[in-house]
Amino acid sequence: MIIPFRSNIQQMGGYVSGEQPQGDGWVKLNTNENPYPPSPKVVAAIKDAATGRLNVYPDASATEFRNVAAKLFAVDPDWILPANGSDENLTIIIRSFCEPNDAIAYPYPSYVLYESLARIQNCSVSHIKLNHDFQWDAAASNAVCGPARVVFAPNPNSPTGNRWTADQLHQLLPDKGILVVDEAYGDFADDPHRGELLKDDRFDRRLIVTRTLSKSYSLAGIRFGFSIADPEITAGMHKVRDSYNCDAVATAAATAALLDQDWMRQNREKIISTRSRIASELPQFGFKVSPSEANFVWTVHESGRHREIYEQLKQKRILVRFMQYPGAGPHDETVDGLRITVGTDEEVAKLFDALKTVVATAC
């Protein structure tokens, strides 16, 4: 049977997300979830919404959520667009701005979903190549970003964990296109900002900040994100999204989560403290750890045997993320390494315990 897919869909590989093992007993440090549960107020809001009027469609404008998010980011509610997870923010952006054959650009290595979404839209993809310090050359980035329709920059970056300044991000603003600053991990940064970039005139109002509830608010299972941008941009993207892209239960949970900032900050502090512990203890096993402002660390082992380490840890039911980036090295060679999500102290103790034997046998 010949299935009549569009030719770009036929040719593309498709994004491969991190493993989500079923069953108990796993130490899951591979997809940057928060190891702590969401606020009890979120659980109460979910129960409330679930016993409410599920027979009718939700508020398509997510009015209450937008009011709460707008307050947090010191903007008006017409700057906020809710999405079914931040990945949907990215889909809405590409569908709103990119014609087939337009170019998108993003730092490399970083979140390769940008590339998959661009391929679905039949766009071309350019990499802003990062050096060993995860910085770009300004002249080279200008050449790549200038003609792009959309440039995506995760800040802090994944998988590297570093964060770029507003001055650096400004270098990525395309000549006429849109810059998307993906702040999925923004709350874990040393000096987390809330919308300051959006008030920086240098970005010429062609800036979209995206956020997720999956990480700092412990709601990966709920699927909720939102974008913040100039009302004209937001109104245009509103035309592209599904009318009811966020369900009533998820919207109630997200609203309650944003209202409980104390809960989020408490977990953030614990994660940052465990992150320091990981950074100081991993080197004793032969790992080099890159400074991180996110809820994960990027690490490479002196043996280079990252796949073997990943596999042996997996046999012990400990999942970390083995990542490979073809062409990312200084001579276009493949770069690989491990991205380890910051878990609880107990989970991290299990990781260290396993590494004692794994490093001895795998490396």
Ligand X SMILES: Cc1ncc(COP(=O)(O)O)c(C=O)c1O
- In angstroms, give the least distance from the CB of 167 to ligand X: 21
| Nearer residue to ligand X within complex by CB, 220 or 252 | 220
User: Half-sphere exposure (CA, 13 Å, Cβ side) for 283?
Assistant: 8
Is residue 34 within the footprint of ligand X (CB under 6 A)?
A: no
DSSP assignment letter at 123: -
**Site residues (CB under 6 A) for ligand X, limited to 180-209:** 182, 184
Q: Are 233 and 239 in contact (CB under 8 A)?
A: no
Stretch that binds ligand X, among 83-91, 93-101, 170-178, 296-304 (CB under 6 A): 83-91
Q: Label residue 316 left, alpha or beta by phi (over 0 means left) and psi (-120 to 50 means alpha).
A: alpha
Residue 337: both structure tokens together: 């390494």
Cα separation, 314 vs 316, in Å, equals 5
What is the footprint of ligand X within residues 12-31 (CB under 6 A)? none
Assess 312 for contact with ligand X (CB under 6 A): no
H or E, element range at 297: strand 296-301
- Residues 6+ positions from 231 with CB-CB distance below 8 Å: 76, 78, 79
Report if residue 118 touches ligand X, rule: CB under 6 A.
Answer: no
**Shortest separation between residue 46's beta carbon and ligand X, angstroms:** 17
Q: Which residue has the tokens 């900050």?
A: 265
Within 163-182, the residues that bind ligand X by CB under 6 A are 182
Task: Tell me which of 30, 121, 126, 214 binds ligand X, using CB under 6 A.
Answer: 214
Minimum gap (Å) between residue 91 Cβ and ligand X: 10
d(CA 289, CA 78): 41
Phi first, then psi: give them for residue 31, nearest 5 degrees. -130, 30
Closer residue to ligand X (CB): 246 or 354: 246
227 binds ligand X (CB under 6 A): no
Nearer Cβ to ligand X (161/355): 161
Query: Which residues are bridge partners to 212 per DSSP?
Result: 225
User: What's the Rg (C-alpha) of the chain?
Assistant: 21
* Minimal distance, residue 55 CB to ligand X, in Å: 27
Report the residue from 30, 34, 39, 86 that binds ligand X according to the rule CB under 6 A: 86
Per CB under 6 A, the list member of 107, 154, 161, 337 interacting with ligand X is: 154
- Minimal distance in Å, beta carbon 112 to ligand X? 10
**274 or 341: whose CB is closer to ligand X?**
341
CA distances to 13, 15, 120, 178, 180 from 10, rounded to whole Å, are 8, 14, 10, 28, 28
Kindly state whether residue 159 participates in binding ligand X, applying the rule CB under 6 A.
Answer: no
- Is 85 near ligand X (CB under 6 A)? yes
Contact between 245 and ligand X by CB under 6 A: the answer reads no
> Toward ligand X, which CB reaches closer, 223 or 285?
223
Contacts of 349 (CB under 8 A, 6+ apart): none
Part in contact with ligand X (CB under 6 A); list of ranges 79-87, 95-103, 310-318, 333-341: 79-87
Burial 216-240 (b: 16+ CB within 10 A, else e): bbbbbebbbbbbbbbeebbeebbee
Instruction: Choose which of 32, 141, 171, 218 interacts with ligand X (CB under 6 A).
Output: 32
Rounded to the nearest whole angstrom, what is the least distance from the CB of residue 345 to ligand X in the complex? 23
How many Cβ atoms from other residues are within 10 Å of residue 110's Cβ? 24
Q: With respect to ligand X, which residue has the nearer C-beta, 109 or 225? A: 225
Where on the chain is the footprint of ligand X (CB under 6 A)?
32, 85-87, 111, 154, 158, 182, 184, 212, 214, 220, 225
